[in-house]
A and B are shown apart, each in its own frame.
Chain A
């Protein structure tokens, strides 16, 4: 066994040292693997960033109320009466003897996407007085919060980065009224950072939707309080037709959109891997061919066929790993952490960051190794099966 390992070590060293002889072919297969991995990572990191942002937006101890069957806030309806009833439900937290609840109305307004210079849908959310308190992790970083009852807007930092038209201090005219942008808020890693917030009552009146709410958020004492709250609401005939779930569960449901990017990632990734594989196999066959004399010599002095096989295999794996690492480096430099936006499930733009999390990087490494393994397997068998006398005679 030890001698086989020694043999493998010797043949591997021989192989690896001869890589420079096939420098261009080796580089070609490294780059092909690298590009494959980079494309795979691009779409996986896109999907991951989108999922993280959507899923990261909800709290466990906030109950979200929507109309049953509404797949988006836009077509949900919650009446003012229902809002009042729900505010007095069991487990609803109070602040200064007022319930921590917020009835909200989401409308869409146009912004200008900076990268393409085209109009895009911005979520304009009217929130109640407690709307800010209900969302932990939101901080006003510039200016101040809007004052209740006024035409003032605070804007998410993500939205400002990607879209023009809602800069701090600017005045925008919407439906015949001037709105002033009085503040910028940060809510890292959540969908809220791509939103505009204003007072819900003002939003209702200026968008001609008197007393109309779409959703309601209620701060409960603990995550465990969501179930009793829901049971209580389901029993009340005045609250029929409403669905109650934790805010986290609501956003988890919205995150399925990123599945389409995962499908694209694997379709393109596997296709390109097959292309890269062709390069790897060719490189390895030519590696075996150019070293046939050396392999034959080694076989004659007693090296086993396994040593020849593993030597080829290790070389193939080394090349594809180099490609994999290069691909991961390209991904980190070119797009990791970069901000982008797409049309989210709520029919409004959602700003998020490419997210190369460790599981994705491991997936990429496994993919590179699979390419190396398959790429080295058949050439390895050829190396192991060479008949030494014939090879030497042919020289």
Chain B
């Protein structure tokens, strides 16, 4: 029987105890990988270092005059600019049918967000040509079963449609946008600004914000300063930031999520660290006599140390693998429902491996050293 087999046998000599330990380690890793994946999903966006956004200095919910867009587009160092409006859209039900609908200028929008808008040319052309058409993220179309060419009534909780006199607009679905994780288009619905602007009863010729590309990321600060300086002391002062800074501050509005995540994950791991550590110590103490026998038979102290440490490592990695697996399974199950899907983040596996290694070391080191130091006489004499 080799050492590995012996380790495995030792691990399962009290199966109930081992199962309980594996379950508790599994749960800590389940919480860890679930929460970290969630945190990564809400805080990671595909960003371009050259993509920036100009908003009202007062707050991003305050609109800007359309003239701002034209001035920004003509600024030195700006490669391409577009503009977006929040439509306050929903489908059928205001609570459950909420949709992030944006009124955009199609051609420039495709320039600024080109990398996330890889759609078939005929869909793109159909969208460009028909002013009353829309593009939607694939998961949105799937969720409501919309097909290309179908006319979909969307409602706005802000604006009134001049043509119909109520808050409903009809749009033809021109195409769908694939949205891998982190896509800037995830969940979004794009409509034509011109069509929106002509049909709203108020708020005309105002835009929400201006995303644009700079010619080089080195120019970012310079361009931002030039834009904000251009509108300084006007009615509509601006604040220009790179895309990543803006996204981060938006997520930060929810609260100090990073702090809450570390506290919860910390609590879960401290709890299992104590449970596993003390149980391992007990397991080795129970085996004192055996260790004495093994040493009598010629097992070296180092070999005994390796075996105890190996056992705690085995336990720790078993729990980690099961926990990460459970998290991946649950996340993919949960993403079937409404809301943007949360993907299991592969980077979690790296963290989990490091934590499992540390957990195995910390919980196994004490008992392993005790076994290492144990003299045969003490071991066989102890009751």
Mark A residues whose CB is within 8 Å of B: 24-25, 27-29, 31-32, 35-36, 38-39, 42, 69-71, 74-75, 107-110, 113, 115-116, 118-122, 174-176, 207-208, 268, 271-272, 274-279, 281-282, 285-286, 340-343, 347, 349
Q: Is there an interface contact between A268 and B279, defined as CB atoms closer than 8 Å? A: no
Q: Is there an interface contact between A29 and B94, defined as CB atoms closer than 8 Å? A: no
Cβ contacts under 8 Å, B253 to chain A: 113, 118, 120-121, 342-343, 349
Q: Is there an interface contact between A71 and B157, defined as CB atoms closer than 8 Å? A: yes
Q: Is there an interface contact between A108 and B255, defined as CB atoms closer than 8 Å? A: no
Q: Report the minimal beta-carbon distance from A44 to chain B, rounded to whole angstroms.
A: 14
Cβ contacts under 8 Å, B42 to chain A: none
- Closest-by-CB residue of A relative to B157 is A75
Instruction: Tell me whether A176 and B94 are in contact in the complex, defined as CB-CB below 8 angstroms, given that A272-B268, A342-B255 are known contacts.
Output: no
User: Would you list 6 pairs from A and B whose C-beta atoms are within 8 A, ordered by A residue?
Assistant: A25-B278, A28-B278, A74-B61, A175-B236, A279-B279, A343-B254
Q: Is there an interface contact between B270 and A31, defined as CB atoms closer than 8 Å? A: yes
Pick out which of these stretches binds chain A: B23-31, B105-113, B220-228, B293-301: B23-31
Cβ contacts under 8 Å, B58 to chain A: 107-110, 174-175
Q: Is there an interface contact between B95 and A282, defined as CB atoms closer than 8 Å? A: no
Give Cα distance in the complex from A271 to B27, angstroms.
6
Q: Is there an interface contact between B24 and A278, defined as CB atoms closer than 8 Å? A: yes
Q: Is there an interface contact between B274 and A28, defined as CB atoms closer than 8 Å? A: yes
Give Cα distance in the complex from A139 to B270, angstroms.
45
Instruction: Tell me whether A24 and B27 are in contact in the complex, defined as CB-CB below 8 angstroms, given that A35-B267, A119-B249, A279-B271 are known contacts.
Output: no
Pick the residue among B236, B239, B279 that contacts A25 (CB under 8 A).
B279
Give Cα distance in the complex from A233 to B172, angstroms.
39
Give Cα distance in the complex from A275 to B271, angstroms.
8
Give Cα distance in the complex from A236 to B263, angstroms.
56
Cβ contacts under 8 Å, B17 to chain A: 282, 285
Q: Report the minimal beta-carbon distance from B90 to chain A, rounded to whole angstroms.
A: 9
Interface residue B234 (Cβ < 8 Å from any Cβ of A): yes
Q: Is there an interface contact between A275 and B274, defined as CB atoms closer than 8 Å? A: no
Give how many B residues have a beta carbon under 8 Å from the other chain's beta carbons: 47
Q: Report the minimal beta-carbon distance from B244 to chain A, rounded to whole angstroms.
A: 12
Q: Report the minimal beta-carbon distance from B339 to chain A, rounded to whole angstroms.
A: 11
Give Cα distance in the complex from A69 to B92, angstroms.
12
Q: Report the minimal beta-carbon distance from B193 to chain A, rounded to whole angstroms.
A: 19
Closest 7 CB pairs of A and B: A279-B275, A278-B24, A28-B274, A278-B20, A32-B271, A118-B252, A275-B24
Q: Is there an interface contact between A28 and B275, defined as CB atoms closer than 8 Å? A: yes
Give Cα distance in the complex from A74 to B278, angstroms.
56
Total cross-chain contacts (CB, 8 A): 142
Give Cα distance in the complex from A116 to B259, angstroms.
10
Q: Report the minimal beta-carbon distance from B17 to chain A, rounded to whole angstroms.
A: 6
Pick the residue among B255, B267, B281 that contacts A24 (CB under 8 A).
B281
Cβ contacts under 8 Å, B274 to chain A: 27-28, 31-32, 279
Q: Is there an interface contact between B94 and A281, defined as CB atoms closer than 8 Å? A: no
Instruction: Tell me whether A272 and B27 are in contact in the complex, defined as CB-CB below 8 angstroms, given that A24-B278, A31-B271, A69-B157 are known contacts.
Output: yes
- Closest-by-CB residue of A relative to B258 is A116
Cβ contacts under 8 Å, A268 to chain B: 31, 264
Q: Mark B342-355 against chain A: 1 for CB-CB distance below 8 A, else 0.
A: 00000000000000
Interface residue B158 (Cβ < 8 Å from any Cβ of A): yes
- Closest-by-CB residue of A relative to B251 is A118
- Closest-by-CB residue of A relative to B383 is A395
- Closest-by-CB residue of B relative to A327 is B267
Of residues 8 through 45 on chain B, the ones whose CB sits less than 8 Å from some CB of chain A are 16-17, 20-21, 23-24, 27-28, 30-31
Q: Report the minimal beta-carbon distance from B85 to chain A, rounded to whole angstroms.
A: 14
Interface residue B235 (Cβ < 8 Å from any Cβ of A): yes
Q: Is there an interface contact between A271 and B24, defined as CB atoms closer than 8 Å? A: no
Q: Is there an interface contact between B267 and A39, defined as CB atoms closer than 8 Å? A: yes
Give Cα distance in the complex from A282 to B270, angstroms.
17
Q: Is there an interface contact between A35 and B59, defined as CB atoms closer than 8 Å? A: no
Q: Is there an interface contact between B264 and A275, defined as CB atoms closer than 8 Å? A: no
Give Cα distance in the complex from A277 to B30, angstroms.
16
Cβ contacts under 8 Å, B270 to chain A: 31, 35
Q: Is there an interface contact between A341 and B255, defined as CB atoms closer than 8 Å? A: yes
Cβ contacts under 8 Å, A275 to chain B: 23-24, 27-28, 268, 271-272, 275
Cβ contacts under 8 Å, A271 to chain B: 27, 30-31
Q: Report the minimal beta-carbon distance from A379 to chain B, rounded to whole angstroms.
A: 10
Q: Is there an interface contact between A286 and B268, defined as CB atoms closer than 8 Å? A: no
Instruction: Tell me whether A29 and B275 are in contact in the complex, defined as CB-CB below 8 angstroms, given that A176-B235, A272-B267 are known contacts.
Output: yes
Q: Is there an interface contact between B235 and A208, defined as CB atoms closer than 8 Å? A: yes
Q: Is there an interface contact between A118 and B248, defined as CB atoms closer than 8 Å? A: yes
Pick the residue among B31, B264, B272, B282 that contacts A286 (CB under 8 A).
B282
- Closest-by-CB residue of A relative to B236 is A175
Cβ contacts under 8 Å, A208 to chain B: 235
Which residue of B158, B270, B274, B277 has the most chain A CB atoms within 10 A of its CB atom? B274
Interface residue B62 (Cβ < 8 Å from any Cβ of A): yes
- Closest-by-CB residue of B relative to A378 is B16
Q: Is there an interface contact between B275 and A278, defined as CB atoms closer than 8 Å? A: yes
Interface residue B164 (Cβ < 8 Å from any Cβ of A): no
Of residues 88 through 114 on chain B, the ones whose CB sits less than 8 Å from some CB of chain A are 88, 94-95
Give Cα distance in the complex from A342 to B81, angstroms.
32
Q: Is there an interface contact between A71 and B94, defined as CB atoms closer than 8 Å? A: yes
Interface residue B57 (Cβ < 8 Å from any Cβ of A): yes
Give Cα distance in the complex from A173 to B37, angstroms.
40
Cβ contacts under 8 Å, A35 to chain B: 267-268, 270-271
Instruction: Tell me whether A272 and B233 are in contact in the complex, defined as CB-CB below 8 angstroms, given that A31-B274, A116-B256, A340-B255 are known contacts.
Output: no
Give Cα distance in the complex from A39 to B262, angstroms.
12
Q: Report the minimal beta-carbon distance from A289 to chain B, rounded to whole angstroms.
A: 8
Q: Report the minimal beta-carbon distance from A40 to chain B, rounded to whole angstroms.
A: 10
Give Cα distance in the complex from A286 to B17, angstroms.
9
Give Cα distance in the complex from A298 to B20, angstroms.
29
Q: Mark B278-315 against chain A: 1 for CB-CB distance below 8 A, else 0.
A: 11011000000000000000000000000000000000
Give Cα distance in the complex from A115 to B275, angstroms.
34
Give Cα distance in the complex from A72 to B308, angstroms.
61
Interface residue B237 (Cβ < 8 Å from any Cβ of A): yes
Cβ contacts under 8 Å, A174 to chain B: 58
Give Cα distance in the complex from A227 to B260, angstroms.
44
Which residue of B61, B94, B236 has the most chain A CB atoms within 10 A of its CB atom? B61
Q: Is there an interface contact between A274 and B267, defined as CB atoms closer than 8 Å? A: no
Cβ contacts under 8 Å, A276 to chain B: 24, 271, 275
Q: Report the minimal beta-carbon distance from A316 to chain B, rounded to whole angstroms.
A: 14
- Closest-by-CB residue of A relative to B35 is A268
Q: Is there an interface contact between B275 and A110, defined as CB atoms closer than 8 Å? A: no
Give Cα distance in the complex from A70 to B94, angstroms.
9
Which residue of A74, A271, A275 has the most chain B CB atoms within 10 A of its CB atom? A275
Q: Is there an interface contact between B62 and A107, defined as CB atoms closer than 8 Å? A: yes
Instruction: Tell me whether A108 and B62 are in contact in the complex, defined as CB-CB below 8 angstroms, given that A69-B94, A120-B252, A340-B255 are known contacts.
Output: yes
Q: Is there an interface contact between A110 and B23, defined as CB atoms closer than 8 Å? A: no
Cβ contacts under 8 Å, B282 to chain A: 25, 286
Q: Report the minimal beta-carbon distance from B203 to chain A, rounded to whole angstroms.
A: 10
- Closest-by-CB residue of A relative to B248 is A118
